Amino acid sequence: MSRIEVCIAGFGGQGIIRSGEIVGTAAAIHDGRYATFTQSYGPESRGGACAAQVIISDEPIHYPHLLDPRILVVMSQGAYSKYVPDFNREGVLLVDEDLVELGEEAAGLRVLSIPATRLAEEELGRKIVANVVMLGFFAAVTDVVSVEALRRAVLESVPKGTEELNSKAFELGYEYGRRLVSGG
């Protein structure tokens, strides 16, 4: 893989920006590759649209903004409406299936779904780790960064005292993704 562009989108308060930072850290620090991270968000801190853009490459990155993302992670209906219509049809769309209703905009895309928010709430009792559940799923269904690099980046980026919860969230998403990929 020479260069891969990833967009993670949702609304403020879901940990979208942190998720992008984690993916970039996993690639650059733990996998020894080049990575850039940019973010965009609305004027609201919670509830407004936000997105994290990550570019990972084996070569130095000269332009830090997305040109042709091939992986789109969507955790809100607003993000779906904004990013999916223009998303490359050869790309992979990962969605939180309880928060995103697929429409005709997704026709022709490879769509992989996980109930990330529901799993975080029902299995772990903490909706706030839905983004980490999604990162585990991302690790299982893509080869953007190594699973171990992403695990390490998650544990290094979470608040002290929440490592066990976040580790469980990552593994929950990862196992869900592994079962999906293996067909079981």
Q: Tens digit of pLDDT for each residue in 80-114? A: 999 999 999 999 999 999 999 999 999 999 999 99
Q: What is the pLDDT of residue 124?
A: 97
pLDDT at position 48 over 80: no
At residue 54 the predicted structure's pLDDT band, cuts being 50, 70 and 90, is: very high
Structure tokens at 40: 């965009």
Q: What one-letter code names the amino acid at 164?
A: E
Q: What is the rounded distance in angstroms from the CA atom of residue 184 to the CA atom of residue 179?
A: 5
Q: What is the rounded distance in angstroms from the CA atom of residue 157 to the CA atom of residue 2?
A: 26
Strands (E), 64-161: 71-74, 92-96, 110-114
Q: What is the pLDDT of residue 49?
A: 80
CA 69 to chain centroid, in Å, comes to 13
pLDDT at position 42 over 70: no
pLDDT at position 28 over 90: yes
At residue 44 the predicted structure's pLDDT band, cuts being 50, 70 and 90, is: low
Residue 110 neighbours by CB distance under 10 Å: 12
Express as a percent the part of the chain with pLDDT over 90: 91
Bridge partner list, 159 = none
Mean pLDDT of 163-180: 98
Q: Are 94 and 112 in contact (CB under 8 A)?
A: yes
At residue 173 the predicted structure's pLDDT band, cuts being 50, 70 and 90, is: very high
pLDDT at position 45 over 70: no
Express as a percent the part of the chain with pLDDT over 70: 96
Mean pLDDT of the chain: 94
The β-bridge relationship of strands 92-96 and 71-74 is: parallel
* 3-115+143-156: CATH topology: Pyruvate-ferredoxin Oxidoreductase; domain 3 (3.40.920)
Q: What is the rounded distance in angstroms from the CA atom of residue 83 to the CA atom of residue 108?
A: 15
